[in-house]
Amino acid sequence: MTQPELLRSKECPETLLPSVQFLSEFNSYLGTVRGLAEGTRRKYGRFVQRFLDGWCGDSPPNWQDLSTEHLRAYVHCELSSKRRRPSNSPMVALRAMLRFLAVRGLTQPGLEETLPRIRRWRHATLPPCLSCGDVDRLIKCVGDAATFQPLRNTAIMLLLARTGMRAAEVACLSLDDVDWACGIIHIRGAKTRRDRDLPLSRDVGRALLAYLKRERPPSSHRTIFLQALPPSRPFADSSAISKIVRRAMIRADIAPARGAAHLIRHAVATTMLIRGSSFKNIADVLGHQSLQSTAIYAKLDLLSLSRIAMPWPGDRS
């Protein structure tokens, strides 16, 4: 039974808002047809929900009335917001929605091409990154006995800092994914659908054991990291991991940033590059599908870049 059918079997159609039903079917389409990860589907759903709220509110959406003017009004609202920087994400989500509607026969194909694209030059900026000293300070801060759940947060921080795992991968890590005998962490590629194995370092293993033996609440869940408060469930999503890192950054007097956990992933990649690892090795560790995703870290090796930099035109020194 598909997700929309399961939803209809549990709720009466009269009590189900049309937008809720549409979003459920759209989410199922993104997962089964497009193969998008849960986090990406959730992000698309937020933008589409915002569009529906502004366009039809609580009324059933009449897709035959959808026009380019409605789409442009939404785009203008998104781009004029002072709370968010201009991004392609709302338009990408809306294009996916329009393709879904075209597949269902509710709109004409090609309507997604009316949405503008924000041009961004590839590798035009440096990726945000933390130094090795910053990462060590974060590990020390989360391990402070005066903080909340120090053993759990230390294990999380060490996993991020030693393996370069994504926050979502840490949040979903299961007891069955750790091979203690062989010293291997098996990471299930929820985003790329490509699993990979990483070595279990000694300090990460000790931190995990300390948490499992002394701090993890009793639970039938196989997910390693649980919420501290009853009923001690797994984290709802990866944002909980970033919140742990962000709080540590504040205590360590490091300016917090969006996607805090991802900054540690950047630091791991940069350190590997500076120490001479190839792009292929870094991509294998980080789970990148394309080397283009890894190439951005080459800009952070400023010492190596200075050796091959061309002289500035007109510079006589």
pLDDT at 202 > cutoff 90 = yes
Q: Which pLDDT value is given to residue 2? A: 47
Per residue in 8-42, pLDDT (tens digit) is 434 434 334 578 889 999 999 998 888 887 888 98
Do 190 and 168 touch, CB atoms closer than 8 A?
yes
pLDDT at 1 > cutoff 50 = no
pLDDT at 316 > cutoff 90 = no
Per residue in 56-72, pLDDT (tens digit) is 888 888 888 898 889 88
34-38, 161-165, 192-196, 208-212: which is most confident: 208-212
Please state, in angstroms and rounded to a whole number, the distance separating the CA atoms of residues 262 and 166. 7
Predicted structure pTM score? 0.66
Q: What is the mean pLDDT of the chain?
A: 81
Please state, in angstroms and rounded to a whole number, the distance separating the CA atoms of residues 304 and 302. 6
Q: What angle do CA 233, 238, 241 make, to 5 degrees?
A: 85
More confident residue, 64 or 159: 159
pLDDT at 275 > cutoff 60 = yes
Residue 174 φ/ψ, nearest 5 degrees: -110, 160
Q: Catalytic positions, please?
A: 166, 191, 262, 265, 288, 297
Fold match, 3-114 / 132-306: no
pLDDT at 87 > cutoff 80 = no
Token look-up 């540590």 returns 248
Do 91 and 115 touch, CB atoms closer than 8 A?
yes
Q: Domain segments of the chain: what residues?
A: 3-114, 132-306
Q: CATH code for 3-114?
A: 1.10.150
Q: How confident is the model at residue 113 (pLDDT cuts 50, 70, 90)?
A: confident
Give the pLDDT mean for 163-173. Answer: 91
Give the pLDDT mean for 108-120. Answer: 80
Say which CATH topology domain 132-306 has.
hpI Integrase; Chain A (1.10.443)
User: Pick from 171, 196, 185: which is nearest to 38 by CA?
Assistant: 171
